[in-house]
Amino acid sequence: MQIKIGYYPMLDTVLAIRQIFSVERFKPFCSSVESIDSKLPSEDKEAINLIASLTQDWLDVIENIIDMTMEGIISPEEMFIRAYKDPKCLFGANGEDYMVTLLSNIWYNYCFIEISKYHKKIGQKAMEISCRTSKEELMSYILGLSDRIEKGENNTIRFNIKPELNVHLDDIENIIVMPSVFSSRNVVFWYSGNTFLFYIALDSKSMTLEEPSDMLMLRTLAFNDKTRLKMLKALTESALSVNEIAEKMNVNASTASRHFKVFKDVGFVDIQSQEGNSIYYRINEKEIKKAMESIYNYIFKGDIE
């Protein structure tokens, strides 16, 4: 097992890009992502969307950078040298030179400049994290920051995502925990197999009754959009596929899919059936009521949930 605690700039850079692509899931952005999003030209955003369609929404890139990080390759320059020789080492089977050029430009022209403003805070946060040296101590620290991750019985960790993920602590083999300039939530996490990556926002603090939790912010985000509200209303009538609801809402299928990912993040939809490549989603009334109650309780009772 390996535990890595430190700041890994390319992992943070790709998180910023993934959030800009998945705007429906990550708004409101933190100020650093907002700054980059406002400066990126439209052609770069179009390229980000194109690359997303070829790399599982940039998750393949995160996975490849994690592999390099676990090997001890953390310098952006070293990663770019490798990638210019073989784009597939960063972008997978569909990797091409233009993808490396885009990532390099975003790093040098935007992310590097933004990160440089926070060197002191990055160091302070890394030291705060590094006080926890064991897997158990790290998970306890992370659990105190976000209600998207909960501890169950017998050392089981439950991740509030869809499909639901429950992992025994002993089955987590590799952990990367890093301060993040670009995380728009207290904690953003990624996993592949038995490797887990946790981005910890620079201004993250232990959950309190005063601060809205990650799940509360996600639930309000799920409601805070006209199209998403109309989608939820349509789902009360019948189960629908992404393509069917895209047609109903007069949006393209990729946009509808990203809205559905918001719903899955908070449990507002469940899979009812699958026919060929089409997945049919039904509304989860219980989770919507729970979300509304949690927002009410936070405002009027001061409850975290």
What does the pLDDT look like over 28-72, one tens digit per residue? 999 999 999 999 999 999 999 999 999 999 999 999 999 999 999
Using CA of residue 267, residue 148, residue 199, residue 185, what is the dihedral sign?
positive
Asked whether the predicted pLDDT for residue 274 surpasses 70, the reply is yes
Q: Are residues 18 and 124 located together in one domain of the fold? A: yes
Residue 206, in any domain of the structure: no
The pLDDT confidence band at residue 305, using thresholds 50, 70 and 90, is low
- Average pLDDT of the chain is 93
Q: Which residue has the higher pLDDT, 304 or 91?
A: 91
Quote the CA–CA distance of 180 and 160 in Å, as a whole number. Answer: 21
Domain count, the chain: 2
Q: What is the pLDDT of residue 106?
A: 98
Q: Are residues 103 and 51 located together in one domain of the fold? A: yes
DSSP state of 110: I
Residue 281, in any domain of the structure: yes
Q: Are residues 167 and 223 located together in one domain of the fold? A: no
Distances in whole angstroms, Cα of residue 65 to Cα of each of 8, 21, 62, 89, 157: 9, 18, 5, 9, 25
Residue 129, in any domain of the structure: yes
Q: What is the pLDDT of residue 303?
A: 66
Q: What is the pLDDT of residue 304?
A: 58
Q: Which residue has the higher pLDDT, 274 or 82?
A: 82
Short-list 27, 3, 1, CA closest to 197: 3
Asked whether the predicted pLDDT for residue 302 surpasses 80, the reply is no
Domain termination residue (choose one: 179, 201, 223): 201
Quote the CA–CA distance of 278 and 246 in Å, as a whole number. Answer: 13
Domain termination residue (choose one: 201, 223, 243): 201
Q: What is the pLDDT of residue 76?
A: 97
Match 């890093």 to its residue by tokens: 178
Residue 82, in any domain of the structure: yes
Short-list 200, 218, 202, CA closest to 265: 218
Residues in contact with 148: Cβ distance below 8 Å, sequence separation at least 6, in sequence order: 159, 160, 161, 185, 187, 189, 214, 215, 218
Domain termination residue (choose one: 201, 229, 261): 201
Residue 109, in any domain of the structure: yes
Q: In which domain, by residue range, is 189 found?
A: 2-201
Match 């890009």 to its residue by tokens: 17
Q: Are residues 137 and 51 located together in one domain of the fold? A: yes
Quote the CA–CA distance of 191 and 175 in Å, as a whole number. Answer: 9
Residue 97, in any domain of the structure: yes
Q: What is the pLDDT of residue 24?
A: 86
Mean pLDDT of 21-25: 90
